[in-house]
Structures are given as structure tokens and as C-alpha cells.
Structure 1
Amino acid sequence: MVRGTGDEDKAEPEVPTARVTYEVTGEGTANLSYQGASEQGTAVSVSGARLPWKKTVEVPLGQNPVISITLGEQGGQARCAVAVRAQHVQSATASGEFGRATCSASLPAPAPEASN
């Protein structure tokens, strides 16, 4: 078996993903935290996001896409929604001073690789 420079051994294995859309509607601003395209499940935070707000990301299979919203001291009302592969999964509403809401979904684990 002939080996190249070895760079192919260092390449990260590609993890299957699902397209997830997070949407927050309402007026004013809110602090947001959502699951992005990280295999480690690291959350992405957005402070003072101007509403309405929408973001589409690729989330690795086996992770659970989630978005949390927190209103400020001015209160108000905001609604989060999550869609997986363009299909609505969940929505929730935050209202009042420092109101909170969380929307989440479940993604299936990636299929095991076939061995030769």
C-alpha cells in the first residue's frame, strides 16, 4: 500500500449534519444562546440581538439543537422557534421582565460507518 504525505490521516472526519433554523420574533432586543455547528456542543451567544432575528446553521447529527432567549429588564415578549430541515419542531414564548424561553429539537445519531 502506497501512502501519500500523510495529510489525509490528519483530516478531520466529516460528520453528517442537519440544517437547523432558529428564529426569534418580537420587538426590541434579547440575549440569545444557540447550538451552532460544533461537534463539542458549544453554544454561540448573542448579546442584545435586535429582533426579529433568524439564523440557519448546520448542526452535527447526534447533537440537540437548542436556542434560549432572555429578555432584559424592560420585559416585553419574544417567541423562539426551531425548525429542522425546514420542518417546524418547537416554539415557546418569553414575556415580562427578564422572561426566558427555550426551544429545542432532537437529531438522530449518525449511522455507523460500514466496515469493509
Structure 2
Amino acid sequence: MIAAVLLLACGGLVGYGLLDTEDEPEPPATRTAAVTYEVTGDGPAEISYLGRDTDGAATVVRDAELPWKRTVQVPLGQAPTVAVVLGEKGGQAACTLAVRGKHLQSATASGEFGRATCAAGQLPDGG
């Protein structure tokens, strides 16, 4: 008798789990802003930039041929950044950064293993 009650109880819980078709709530969508990164000059160069990842991880492009340009979505609250590093042969490269089409910063790298970084503050909610 006890075994039958336990069997019915277990069956009811399993049935409830199978019949419970309520979807899990979707996590709220991450709001983003369009950011355009551009690097001009003599290449190749190593370029790293912040894209859509909400964890703040950068995307790295090795041996990028210049000129190079990307428009990506960056989560609000993140600071968009693009960095360029020239190789051992040197040269010259310039990076620029624009948020929602508005130019915010530029920088120039030159010489052997020259570096330049363009960054903006955290992206505010601006529509």
C-alpha cells in the first residue's frame, strides 16, 4: 500500500514536470550602440577591439591588412576601445573611433612595435 502511494506520488511529480510547458523567462536583451573602429596606415598590424560580448572580452585580429574598418554593436555601459600594434618592421598607423556616427577619438602609432589606442568612456543610453 505504501509502495503504491509512493509510486503514485512519484508519477504525479514526473507528470507535472512533463506537462509543465511554461517557458523560462527570456533574459532581458542587452542594449547596444553602433561603434565604428577604423585603422589606416601601412600594415600588417595586430588590432584588438571591443565588440558585442557583455563580458568585456576583446576580439583580436592578427596580421590585419590596412586599411581596416569594422562597425560593431557594443553593450551600453562598456567602454569601446580599439588598439593597434605594429610589427617589427614598424611603419605608421592611425586608429579612429566613432559612436553612433560621431567621431570621438583618434591616435597614431609609429615605428617598430608602435602602439596606439582609441577609447571612449562607458557608453551612455543615448538612443
Task: Flag whether TM exceeds 0.5 (same fold).
Answer: yes
Q: Which residue of 2 aligns with 1:84?
A: 99
Aligned to 1:49: 64
Shift of 1:20: 0.1
Kept after mapping to 1: 8 A contact 2:43/2:86: no
Supply the AA of the counterpart residue of 1:14: A
Q: Are 2:54 and 1:66 equivalent residues in the alignment? A: no
Residue 101 in structure 1 maps to residue 109 in structure 2: no
Structure 1 pair 86–55 and aligned structure 2 pair: CA distance change class (3 A)? same
Shift of 1:16: 1.1
| C-alpha distance in 1 between matches for 2:70 and 2:56 | 17
Structure-2-length-normalised TM-score: 0.79
Greater fraction helix? 2
Q: Unaligned stretches of 5+ in structure 2?
A: 1-19
The structure that is strand-richer by fraction is 1
1:23 to 10, 25, 38: 38
For the aligned residue pairs, the C-alpha RMSD in angstroms reads: 1.6
CA distance in 1, matches of 2:86, 2:93: 8
Q: How many residues align?
A: 106
Distance in 2 (alpha carbons) for counterparts of 1:12 and 1:41: 18
Query: Percent identity, aligned pairs only?
Result: 57
